[in-house]
Chains A and B, each alone.
Chain A
């Protein structure tokens, strides 16, 4: 026996010196006992065991915890050994908890699943977060810091302090500090520690900070309570500002969508005095052009996918522009001087285009993908900005500026403005007004087409796409006034922003109704919109 113990010591010595991995296996032996004990006891006992395990800081425990949270951890009924297992009908594919190697298969009946509830899941999340705090991988550490922060627990404190001491990456370190502060608030540390923790958390200034402090508020009293109250007040006001900022951003993005949809309409309405009811269908055709371009790219040139929108833009402009030109030449030019009838005829055209698209592409929504540079988003302070919305705002601005340039700085624009202001005089000065009309209509339709390319990124591409924008576009044009691009800009942006600012208070639908009513009332005050053209020509 003695001999055996000596042998064992020698072996151990050798192991430590020469075979370091085997030394680990001893520590693992400890862990294995604890892991196997996960199979017994009630939820709160299991939770304590998880906390104990996580304090070892052994990163290899992470898969076990993940399996536990996912409900993939089983106990063998015969010897109470715990395995990670994947169930496949009645057979379990077993994985060893420590080595991560396969441990064969077993019948489901011989095993019992370890049940988890939400409290346990939270404990597991914290444990995983704490364990991965020391990971060499920066990304993993960052994620761990976040997860510990979002479910702070006293058990993670020691590990956090170790991690903070060894952390060199600035941002991760500050998140860890915040996580530590959050954990301190839940622990029974000294008052000074807690007050310092409140300060650390307030610096975050976001919703998370708000919820952590709100949770802590209930348990606090005296000085700490005052501190927390003050901090919460501060956070609430900061949050309100960010919320307003976020809503204004949403409003701007809605406004640019409206601007894109309405600006072409405004041009045709301004120059020709007619409302083009088929305008929404031009938007829809632009979106379908994007769809077709993406289909071709997917099947033939998948490497070009990120370029699909840039390819679709000129195509959509040309296709819808040409359709617009043919509508003008084929129908509208026979109806001059009868704007209300043009409205009816273009409504007819819109029905035909809708049904045409429905017959070709089917009535359901078509999938239009986002290129990589348009998906995702980033956080700016307390605001979330998505790339697709941001690009649409930029795109709308670009379209608007280009149009402004065309109208103010080119010969065609000059002629267009002349026709808008006084058709007869322009005609007498040698401007071919029918030609200007046709090109204006084509331009307006083309712009609707490229608006469709942009809208395909944020809306469902279906034959009804245009219908959903047409009334809003009318509102923008009528509100902004005719014959002035700035009117359309102001109209679109203010409608967008007001809409989104109203939404949190009275809901989307009531907000929209209210805006419609407000516009109806506004038209009573200014029958020609915000920026009306002045002079006799308007009466004609």
Chain B
């Protein structure tokens, strides 16, 4: 029944995208590991790691798109869930260092020895085991999102107010994680990782596996998102996004719908963070910075919010651009990013994918029937006083 449900949720674009991701998950590691370094088909390890990082960003952008593009909640705190997932993974990786740290203490991580701590804080227990860390990667962001969302949605905090308090949340976490007393390595964060599941984290094989894991995680997230969006549940979400009051008057409970979506999205962000940390080798409080969360928003906006493929494309494109710019013209990068924000909101409100679809749709009316229904949101009726101000002015 579940498979039928999932199959029903696939349209052609999503299936193609998932197939591509699955193929990439196998081909890229194969080209990296099996093809000799002289061959033009060889992919160097640093490129594998770099694109693996982009894939985790894409997963984060997809998570944000689920709440923003389909539910109308502009979260400016998604980097917090990402970082929390990252910290959970980081804690596991730190425990794997064992006695190979700088101080060689078999019981305590380096930074605790440095701070003269005598024993491990209670919340570090259990992170010796991968299964526990994996559970926490889902549970901690999910729990935070659940509590935060339960409070916020129940009292109908919407629009700009919600955006600002999500930003306050990530800012508060940023300040908290900077404190040494918190027991998460303070300013320096967690780093100097050695092993993941018993394999050297620096090894070529591990890099390729992490890339594959990221690609597969993204494919699965895409599948789940697509299932959510195309179900009846997803239709209600779009209804909430475009006319919350009306949906409520029709008898739906907006807070429940939003809460479920927000929590799922936070868990996806947590997984993205957990895959990100072993690939970059460090997690520090800087990941909580409010600016990071806003940057995720622009990836989603560039790709096209309200489309599932858009954020993946947007995250990859913008970060690829960032890598090139910051290496070649570091002065210009912020100008370019700023201009991207302005230009996207002014000229490309639906993003690359959204605009592309609109173009192909207007060219041939026949194709209109193929467009996913969730994009054909109702625009009938006046834009009366009851329409939420943040309603999409698309189409």
Chain A residues proximal to chain B, CB less than 8 Å = 269, 273-275, 331, 334-335, 337-345, 347-352, 354-356, 358-359, 467, 471, 474-475, 478, 509-510, 512-513, 516-517, 519-521, 523-525, 527-528, 536-537, 539-540
Q: Which of B164, B172, B391 contacts A517 (CB 8 A)?
A: B172
Q: A348-B338, A523-B161 are in contact. Are A516 and B168 (CB under 8 A)?
A: yes
How many chain B residues touch A (Cβ–Cβ < 8 Å)? Answer: 53
The answer on a CB contact under 8 Å between A524 and B74 is: no
Chain B residues within an 8 Å CB radius of A516? 168-169, 171-172, 175
> Of the 9-residue stretches B59-67, B222-230, B339-347, which lies at the interface with chain A?
B339-347
The answer on a CB contact under 8 Å between A340 and B74 is: yes
Q: Which of A344, A358, A474 contacts B167 (CB 8 A)?
A: A474
Interface 1/0 per residue, B83-120 and A, CB below 8 Å: 00000000000000000000000000000000000000
Smallest CB separation, B209 vs chain A (Å)? 36
> Of the 9-residue stretches B29-37, B196-204, B309-317, B382-390, which lies at the interface with chain A?
B382-390
B335 at the interface (CB under 8 A from A): yes
B337 at the interface (CB under 8 A from A): yes
Chain A to chain B contacts (Cβ below 8 Å), 17 pairs:
A338-B392, A339-B159, A339-B389, A342-B345, A344-B297, A344-B298, A344-B345, A345-B345, A347-B341, A352-B338, A474-B168, A478-B164, A513-B175, A523-B155, A524-B155, A528-B161, A540-B385
The answer on a CB contact under 8 Å between B179 and A509 is: yes
Smallest CB separation, B159 vs chain A (Å)? 7
Q: A471-B290, A520-B165, A539-B385 are in contact. Are A344 and B175 (CB under 8 A)?
A: no
Residue with the highest number of chain A CB atoms closer than 10 Å, among B154, B169, B175, B338: B338
Chain B residues within an 8 Å CB radius of A512? 172, 175
Give A540 to B159 CA distance when docked, in angstroms: 11
Chain B residues within an 8 Å CB radius of A359? 331
Chain A residues within an 8 Å CB radius of B387? 540
The answer on a CB contact under 8 Å between A355 and B385 is: no
The answer on a CB contact under 8 Å between B157 and A527 is: yes
Chain B, Cβ-Cβ closest to A274 = B160
The answer on a CB contact under 8 Å between A340 and B390 is: yes
> How many contacts A-B (CB < 8 Å)?
146
Chain B, Cβ-Cβ closest to A471 = B171
The answer on a CB contact under 8 Å between B345 and A341 is: yes
The answer on a CB contact under 8 Å between A348 and B159 is: no
B152 at the interface (CB under 8 A from A): yes
Chain A, Cβ-Cβ closest to B154 = A524
The answer on a CB contact under 8 Å between B339 and A339 is: no
Is chain A's interface secondary structure helix, strand, loop, or mixed overall? helix
Q: A519-B165, A520-B169 are in contact. Are A352 and B160 (CB under 8 A)?
A: no
The answer on a CB contact under 8 Å between B165 and A352 is: no
Chain A residues within an 8 Å CB radius of B143? none
The answer on a CB contact under 8 Å between A352 and B390 is: no
Give A126 to B301 CA distance when docked, in angstroms: 71
**Closest 7 A/B residue pairs (Cβ):** A348-B341, A351-B338, A352-B338, A355-B334, A516-B172, A348-B342, A345-B345
The answer on a CB contact under 8 Å between B155 and A351 is: no
Interface 1/0 per residue, B358-375 and A, CB below 8 Å: 000000000000000000
B176 at the interface (CB under 8 A from A): yes
Chain B residues within an 8 Å CB radius of A338? 345, 349, 390, 392-393
Give A513 to B171 CA distance when docked, in angstroms: 8
The answer on a CB contact under 8 Å between A351 and B171 is: no
The answer on a CB contact under 8 Å between B165 and A334 is: no
Chain A residues within an 8 Å CB radius of B344? 344
Give A335 to B342 CA distance when docked, in angstroms: 11
Q: Which of A334, A339, A351, A509 contacts B160 (CB 8 A)?
A: A339
Give A1 to B179 CA distance when docked, in angstroms: 86
Chain A residues within an 8 Å CB radius of B156? 527
Chain A, Cβ-Cβ closest to B73 = A340
Chain B residues within an 8 Å CB radius of A520? 148, 151, 165, 168-169, 172
B211 at the interface (CB under 8 A from A): no
The answer on a CB contact under 8 Å between A536 and B385 is: yes
